[in-house]
């Protein structure tokens, strides 16, 4: 049987959980994963960036 409540919580979030990823800059992508910067701020990132390096999350790509 199909799950009728799968993804239901996304409808209660702004823009249905979609936005621009602060790490990679991809637009209109689901931001479901919480990561923290070195300054302690929690940001939401996409699935591809959930395992990104800390330097990429801080915005200092090198």
The answer to whether the beta carbons of residues 33 and 50 sit under 8 Å apart is yes
Whether 60 has a pLDDT exceeding 70, the answer reads: no
pTM of the model: 0.81
**DSSP-assigned letters across all residues of the chain:** ---TTTTGGGGGSGGGGEE--TTT--SSEE--EEEE-TTS-EEEE-TTTTT--HHHHHT---
Whether 62 has a pLDDT exceeding 50, the answer reads: no
Q: What is the pLDDT of residue 7?
A: 85
pLDDT tens digits, 33-47: 999 999 999 999 999
**Alpha-carbon distances of 42 from 7, 16, 38, rounded to whole Å:** 22, 19, 9
Q: What angle do CA 54, 17, 40 make, to 5 degrees?
A: 30
């Amino acid at each position: 049987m199909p799950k009728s409540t799968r993804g239901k919580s996304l409808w209660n979030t702004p823009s249905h959980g979609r936005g621009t990823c602060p790490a990679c800059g991809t637009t209109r992508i689901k931001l479901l994963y919480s990561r923290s910067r070195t300054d302690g701020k929690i940001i939401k990132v996409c699935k591809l960036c959930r395992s990104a390096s800390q330097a990429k999350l801080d915005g200092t790509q090198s």
